[in-house]
Amino acid sequence: MNVIQTEHLTKTYKRFEKEAGLKGSVRSLFNRKFISKTAVDDFSLSIGEGEFVGLIGPNGAGKTTLVKMLTGIIAPTSGKVSVLGYYPNKLENSFKRQYAVVMGQKSQLFPELSAADTFLLFKELYAIPDEEYRQNLAYFTELFGIQEYLNVQVRTLSLGERMKMELIAALLHNPKVLFLDEPTIGLDAIAQKQIRSFLREVNGQRGTTIILTSHYMEDIKSLCGRGVVINHGKKLYDGALTSLFDRYQTHKRITVLFEHENGLHLPEDIEILEQNPYKVSMMVKRERAKEVLGLLLEECDISDLTIEEDDIGSVVERIYAGGITDEEVS
């Protein structure tokens, strides 16, 4: 059963535009110019119950706009949208009781109070029965191991602790669908890992449908079975993530720091991103990574070495440049 269904969904924003400087400001007072930007364009999507779907795309791709339309925060310009059988922008309370949304940079917690105070508010807002509230709170706080921070003032918590509290607040009422917009943004590696493991558990054990947007490839790769790639508001890819990464995550970024000044000469087909006598950073095709590493280890006195996967932006760029077949966008 599909819990989310969109057909030809489109959102166009009207933006105010003015030339820089005083002259531009005065001119815009009399002759205001607006430009249209289509943030989501003819977007069709179906998401089934219990799926964990990653929305992938660079900044400004339209991911957050899509989430805002699915949660009813903004109204679509055209097209159809249905979430759990509701038209989201009608903002019916019976609909709002069945989903939750966590925006990485916006908080539902009251900064001056403890997270436990916000949880009590959510208990009443969502009419959660006492027993269910106690069980859920105990379950989630244990899963995160943050019992000792429940009564601490929110504004004094670390970013990671705060995000864990946001997730608990969102899940106390057992939502059927959870929307997550950049939940790990700005967090350290340990907190990111804990949140990933928490979300995996929630999806696996509770069957919550999760829609995740993230800039971190690791979030998407380790959590989502299905990926939807968006750029310029259009869907570029919709399907299994494994085949997406096999096909489009073709490069690795290798960065090397040298102990001593080094005049390293690399093969011409390697893309150098940055090079100075003490550092070189390059993009290497995945199949050539081993060979290049061997060359570096053999010829250089290395003080540090990092190997990173392609970031989401590069993958999207590659998909965009390479084109995509109709089956993949199904």
Partner 1 sequence: MKKYLEILKISFKAQIIYRMDVLFQLLFGITKIIFASVVWGVIFGSRSEVAGFTLNTMLSYYIVSSFLSCMDLSDITGNEMTWRIRDGTFSKYMVVPARVFGYLGAQTAGKAAFYLTFNLIAAVVWVLLFQIKFAITSNALLIIGALLMAALGLVFMLQLNYFLGILTFKFQDVWMFMMIKNNIVQFVTGSLIPLALLPQPVIDAMRLLPFYYVTYLPSMLLIGRNGEELLSGIIIIAVWVAAFIPLNLFTYNHLRKRYEGVGI
- Residue numbers at the binding site for partner 1 (CB under 8 A): 13, 64, 68, 71-75, 89, 91, 93-94, 96-97, 101, 103, 105-106, 108, 110, 112-113, 117-118, 120-121, 123-127, 153, 181
Q: Provide the 3-class DSSP secondary structure of residue 73.
A: coil
CB 20, min distance to partner 1, A: 20
For the chain, the first-to-last Cα distance in angstroms comes to 17
Q: How far apart are CA 178 and CA 199, in angstroms?
A: 10
Q: Which is nearer to partner 1, 64 or 209 (CB)?
A: 64
Residue 203's alpha-carbon distances to 107, 184, 185, in angstroms, are 22, 17, 20
CB 126, min distance to partner 1, A: 6
Q: Which is nearer to partner 1, 112 or 261 (CB)?
A: 112
CB 322, min distance to partner 1, A: 32
Name every residue whose Cβ is closer than 8 Å to that of residue 164 and which is 6 or more positions away in sequence: 144, 146, 191, 194, 195, 198
CB 77, min distance to partner 1, A: 10
CB 6, min distance to partner 1, A: 18
User: Which residue, among 134, 133, 194, has the nearest Cα to 158 in the 3D structure?
Assistant: 194
Query: How would you list the strands of the sheet with 302-309, edge to edge?
Result: 271-276, 279-285, 251-258, 302-309
Q: How far apart are CA 97 and CA 173, in angstroms?
A: 8
CB 33, min distance to partner 1, A: 16
Q: Which is nearer to partner 1, 97 or 193 (CB)?
A: 97
Q: How far apart are CA 74 and CA 60, in angstroms?
A: 16
Question: Max CA-CA distance within the chain?
Answer: 69
Q: Which is nearer to partner 1, 57 or 244 (CB)?
A: 57
Residue 95's alpha-carbon distances to 44, 67, 118, in angstroms, are 21, 15, 21
Q: Which is nearer to partner 1, 124 or 327 (CB)?
A: 124
Q: Which is nearer to partner 1, 170 or 282 (CB)?
A: 170
